Amino acid sequence: MQSLVVFTGGTSGEAVISRKSAAMVMANIDRTRFAPTLVHINEDGWFAEVDGELIPTDLEQLMADSANYIGAFVMVHGTPGEDGKLQAELDAAGFPHTTGNAEAIALTFHKGRTMDFLRERGLPVAESTQIPAGAQAHEADLIKALGLPCFVKPNETGSSIGISKVTSKAELGPAIEAARAVGGSGVVVESMLLGREFTSGIIPDATGAPMALPVTEIRTHRAFFDYEAKYAGESEEITPANIAPTWTEKLQAMAKKVYQATGMRGLARVDMMSEGPDQIHIIEINSVPGFSEASIIPKQAAAAGLSKQDLITRIIEQTLLNQS
C-alpha cells in the first residue's frame, strides 16, 4: 500500500470546484494500492482530514510523516494549485506531484502570457492585447485592433470567472473593470474566434507519452461557455464529438502540441474553436482541469474505455511512480 496526499481547496473562488474534483479522486482511487490523505488548503493554512477532523499540517510535517507519502495528487483549481505557487513549494522540497513544474503552471494560468507564448511558437490563437494592472485602457484602439464582438478576460482566473463577451463599445469599459476586479495581474482582450467549441483532455499513456482523449463538443445557449454553462447545467457536452475522424484527429494533434509546448505533465485539457479540420484556434489550456463526477475529463476517459479508477491510477503511475 502506497500513501499519497490529495490537495484540495485553495484560496480563490474556485475552491468549491476543487473540493468536488478531490472528492472524485477520493471516491474512485484504488484503495487496494493507494492510501490517500485529503489535505485542505485555505486562507488559514493546510489541514489534513483524518477521521473526519481537520488537523493543521504543512509540507515539512507531511514529508516527515511515517506514512512515507509518494507525492501529491493536485486537485486545487485557481490559486495556489493552478498558478504555480503550490508547485513551487513542492518542487523546492523535492516532493513529487501530478502536474507540470511551477514555471509551466504559472505560465498557463496567465492568459495573456500564454497567448503570446503560443503565438510566438506558431500555434494559432486569437489576436489579443494585454492591459497591465493600473494601465489605462484605450477603448477605441482596442476595438480598431480586435473588432467586435471581443472577449475581455482577467489574466489569472479559471472557470470563466470575470470573463465578458463584449458586443458594443459601451460594454467594453465595464467589462474591463469587471475583469480587473477579479485579480491583480491585468486584463487581456481577445478577438472573437468563429466556429464550434471543442475540448480534448491529455493524459499520459501506459508508457508515459502524451495521449489525447476523445474530443468533446461544447454547446450552450448562453453567450459563451461561462461559469453558469459549466457548472449550472446550461450547456450540452457531446462526447465523443459527432465530427469526421480527420477533424477529430487534427483537434487531438493540436491539443498534444499545446500540452508539449507548455511543458504540461499528468492531466491537462485544451479548449479550441474550430470551423473545420483545417481551421483550429486555441482558446486556452487548463493545467488542473475540472475532475468532478460531472466534469468533461472523466467522460472523455470513459469514452476511451478508461474507468475513473483506471484514469486516476494512470495519472499516479506516470507522474508519482514514474519520475523519468
Q: Return the pLDDT at 234.
A: 67
Position 111 in a domain: no
Q: Return the pLDDT at 109.
A: 93
Q: Return the pLDDT at 136.
A: 85
Q: Does residue 269 share a domain with residue 172?
A: no
Q: Does residue 312 share a domain with residue 205?
A: yes
Q: Does residue 183 share a domain with residue 217?
A: no
Closest to 195 in 3D by CA, of 216, 213, 217: 217
Q: Return the pLDDT at 220.
A: 76
Q: Does residue 309 share a domain with residue 255?
A: yes
Entry field: residues in the chain = 324
- Tell me, what DSSP letter sits at residue 193? P
Q: Return the pLDDT at 324.
A: 57
* Biggest CA pair distance of the chain: 62
Tell me how crowded residue 98 is: count the other CB atoms within 10 A of its CB.
Answer: 24
CA distance 55 to 39: 9
0.85 exceeded by pTM: yes
Q: Return the pLDDT at 270.
A: 98
Position 104 in a domain: no
Q: What is the CATH number of the domain that holds 262?
A: 3.30.470.20
Q: 171 is in which domain, residue-wise?
A: 127-191
Q: Does residue 284 share a domain with residue 231?
A: yes
SS3 (DSSP) at 94 = coil
Helix axes 15-28, 308-316, angle to 10 degrees: 100
Position 118 in a domain: no
Q: Does residue 53 share a domain with residue 166?
A: no
Closest to 218 in 3D by CA, of 296, 324, 102: 296
φ and ψ of 257, to 5 deg: -60, -45
Q: Return the pLDDT at 231.
A: 46
Domain end call among 144, 171, 191: 191
Total domains present in the chain: 3
CA distance 131 to 129: 7
Chunked in runs of 10, what are the mean pLDDT values of the chain (324 residues)? 97 92 98 98 96 95 95 96 97 97 96 95 94 86 92 79 89 91 85 95 96 94 53 77 97 98 97 96 96 94 97 97 76
Q: Does residue 210 share a domain with residue 304?
A: yes
Q: Does residue 202 share a domain with residue 178?
A: no
CA distance 320 to 279: 37
CA distance 302 to 139: 45
Give how far the C-alpha of residue 215 lies from the chain's centroid of Cα atoms, to the nearest Å: 16
C-alpha cell at 265: 505533465
Q: Return the pLDDT at 137.
A: 83
Position 114 in a domain: no
Position 185 in a domain: yes
CA terminus-to-terminus distance, the chain: 22
SS3 (DSSP) at 107 = helix
The number of C-alpha atoms within 13 Å of 193 and in the hemisphere containing its C-beta is: 25
Position 112 in a domain: no
